[in-house]
Amino acid sequence: MNMYTDKRADFFKDRYENRARLIIKCPDQPGIVSAISTFLWNEQANIVSSNQFTVNPKGGEFFMRLDFEYQPGTDVEKLKKEFREVAGRFQMEWRLSLIHELKNMAIFVSKEPHCLLELLWEWQSGDLMANIPVVISNHENAREMVEALGIDFYHLPITKETKQEIEAKQKEILEDYDIDLIILARYMQILSPAFVEVFKNRIINIHHSFLPAFIGAKPYERAFERGVKMIGATSHYVTNDLDEGPIIEQGTEPVSHEHNVDDLKKIGQSIERRVLAQAVKWHLEDRIIVYGNKTIVFE
């Protein structure tokens, strides 16, 4: 991490030293917001921001993202323990996190570096608040650009025969670095069901088409053959259904008959970079709640 990034991270940690975030999903019913607000008031905490959404106020699902400032010296573990009574009363699935504790993110990449470079630039500029201790690749292409930033780089070539062995090594590395989130920045390998299950809703992929169109290989060639007038990219959580995980963000750009396949790829790569970076930021900021095979995104 360079000096500028260090300063931005320190500033972020100081700014949010006494701030926490509640993420909540539960059956909708009267009294949820009141109960949460009363609990925080009793703890002398101050609500800074609050976003909520209900699928249906009559028997639907309720979602909430709430930031609050707590008193210096507050025993956060005790606060979590006491909140369980409120959570139990409303059948909540919930998570309380401290905002100043940055998530540890690993990036997987293959030959094409454009998405990796975008994430590294966002990280260097202080606009992507996370720790990036490691990059894993099945090719050597990105080693120099990664190690120049003081990030560890692991080259793990993979074949059908070595897949199980390599994934075991990847898991060891991810455990060693205490990784919270994995980004597939154009990592051209299909992860095994066992690997995906360990990191459920914690692996973000970028797909080089506007899903559900052109699933699978060579989307730009297929888009060109169809004479499409718009191309796009989709960032989604990885599941064991190929390219069908919960969608986080999508983007599009208009194209015309004057564009050839190389033009489409160039435009598409620009969209991929933008869409993936946005999806990663939203995850790091706890703005996403998975609901079935969809997402609720508090922008």
Which residues are known catalytic residues?
243
Residue with tokens 């390998």: 189
Degrees, nearest 5: CA angle 200-207-135: 65
Contacts of 248 by beta carbon, 8 Å cutoff, 6+ apart: 204, 235, 236, 237, 279, 282, 283, 288, 295, 297
Give CA–CA dist 41/38, Å, rounded: 5
Which of 178, 295, 61, 210 has the alpha carbon at shortest distance from 287?
A: 295
Asked if 232 and 270 touch (Cβ cutoff 8 Å), the reply is no
What's the start-to-end Cα distance of the chain, in Å? 28
What does DSSP say about strands 152-155 and 131-137: parallel, antiparallel, or unpaired? parallel
Which stretches does DSSP call E strand in the chain?
Answer: 19-27, 46-54, 61-69, 93-98, 104-109, 131-137, 152-155, 181-184, 203-207, 230-237, 247-254, 288-291, 294-297
Instruction: Read off the tokens for 53.
Output: 């959404």
